[in-house]
Amino acid sequence: MRNLGLLILLFLCIQCNQKEQKPFNVLFIAVDDLRPELNAYGKTRIQSPHIDRLAREGTTFTRAYCNVPVCGASRASILTGLRPTRERFLGYDTWVDKDAPGIITLPMHFKNHGYYTISNGKVAHHQGDCEGVWDEEWRPRPQGTSWRDYLLPENLALDDSIKRGPSWEIADVPDSAYFDGKIAVKTIRDLQKLKEKDQPFFLAVGFFKPHLPFNAPKKYWDLYDPADIGLADNPFKPENAPDAAMHNFGELRNYHGIPPTGPLPDTLANRLRHGYHACVSYTDAQIGHLLNALDELGLRQNTIVILWGDHGFNLGEHGLWCKHCNFNTSLNAPLIISAPGYAGGQKTFTVTEFIDIYPTLSELSGLELPEHLDGLSLVSVLKDPEHLHKNYAVSKYGNGVTLIQDQFFYTEWRTRNDSIYARMLYDHQTDPDENINISERPETAQRVKEMSTALLEKRGVDF
């Protein structure tokens, strides 16, 4: 009888271990136009308690860089694990299926290994892209005729009549009135459903804010005093910066009430910055609902949670708005990973590229890595935040390619025959806000030469 009891106990232990080894789920959270102006990144102005909570549960990558600072192209690069080239992943209108046909995307890789895949909101730029990848794909329907998601009648009328409404909206409505609140409600229902499935899940959630227009419920605007928000500290073109580095922020210019050229009036600039803050806090609250649901459903301990912003965003720095440039304000974006079995509250300063996300999630989930990947797994950094993952990142926008190495940001603009027509270099140790281009100084000539050579080596094939 004693031996029988031991056998039963051994059997139960084996069963218990098998349950513990159940494949990890993945909650894949994308936030459109999110810059790392968050408490988790040492910034105190924007209220983001739920993202900060996720940072306490995981690892915050302070030097994470998108590979291309425009939404459609950045998402395509992340979902495929491929670098952009001169012919691939160029702009906001990028389709994965057109630019990288036949490539096994990140969610498809998980689906091929038995995962149930859901896309809620804006994950790929276009609904219907990545054909066959999602078991379910859903986006909220607008009240009006466009994705800009206005609620006030006067703004809906403007959007219908001139094809673009105002750049911001304040409506005294519940969170669920706007897209991101609807996405949170839908995702929580999905989590409840997925809990009952005998199948791991890859649940991708793409929040629309803080993308323009800056529409958010009034209570999030009320969190901030416009006087405390002020204006950008450096609303000027960097000294000696080439014209190639600048743009007319056409994305914002398209909105009603924005002047077609020139700097924005201070009152308007302040209102836009206020709107951005409100939208971040609004989306942060929706992320909090998802994290709470994971806890309440008992899914948190077996779910990898990753949060990323598809690129940075300019709020008047260098006189620029939106993204679409090679400055740090457009390239540096949030990346937080919380995975079962790895310590929380970690910060790492190792340089990271967004093409590293695909191999990281694969390794965390015990999946082999497809051969096409350009990035490297970050699991070694989750184990040890001091680990040197790699010492560079490469980002591209238009003809400009930026190499980030050590404290230096070096950018070259090259023609199709690969001749350089502009460049800039910033030392973040002495000039973190990139106010003085030092690429043409005699004392930096050797540094420029070395970084130019390294850039050609690391920018990827088929450039």
Q: Which residues are catalytic?
A: 71, 125
Strand-pairing partners, residue 205, are 29, 120
What is the amino acid identity at position 201? F
CA atoms of 384 and 368, how far apart (whole Å)? 22
Q: How far, rounded to the nearest angstrom, does the alpha carbon of residue 418 sit from its chain's CA centroid?
A: 30
Specify the amino acid at residue 80. T
Are 338 and 59 within 8 A, CB to CB? Answer: yes
- Residue in the structure block whose two tokens are 């959630």: 205
Quick check: 255 and 213 in contact, CB under 8 A? yes
Q: How far apart are the C-alpha atoms of 271 and 257, rounded to whole Å?
A: 12
Dihedral sign for Cα 271, 277, 283, 289, please. Answer: negative
Contact by Cβ (8 Å): 29, 205: yes
SS3 content of the chain, % helix, strand, coil (to 5): 35, 20, 45
Do 347 and 365 meet the contact criterion of CB atoms below 8 Å apart?
Answer: no
Output the DSSP codes for 17-73: HHHHTPPPEEEEEEETT--S-SGGGT--SS--HHHHHHHHHSEEETTEE-SSSSHHH
Q: In this structure, are residues 348 and 360 in contact, taking their beta carbons and an 8 Å threshold?
A: no
**Terminal CA-CA length for the chain:** 72
Between the alpha carbon of residue 324 and those of residues 72, 314, 330, the distances in Å are 12, 9, 7
Question: Tokens in use for 149?
Answer: 């998601």
Handedness of CA 382, 386, 389, 394 (dihedral sign): positive
Residue type, 414: R
Distance CA 195, CA 200 (A): 9
The DSSP-derived string for 125-166 is: SSTT-STT--SEEE-PPPSSSSTT---SHHHHHHHHHHS--B
Q: How far apart are CA 213 and CA 201, in angstroms?
A: 32
Token pair recorded at residue 5: 């009891």
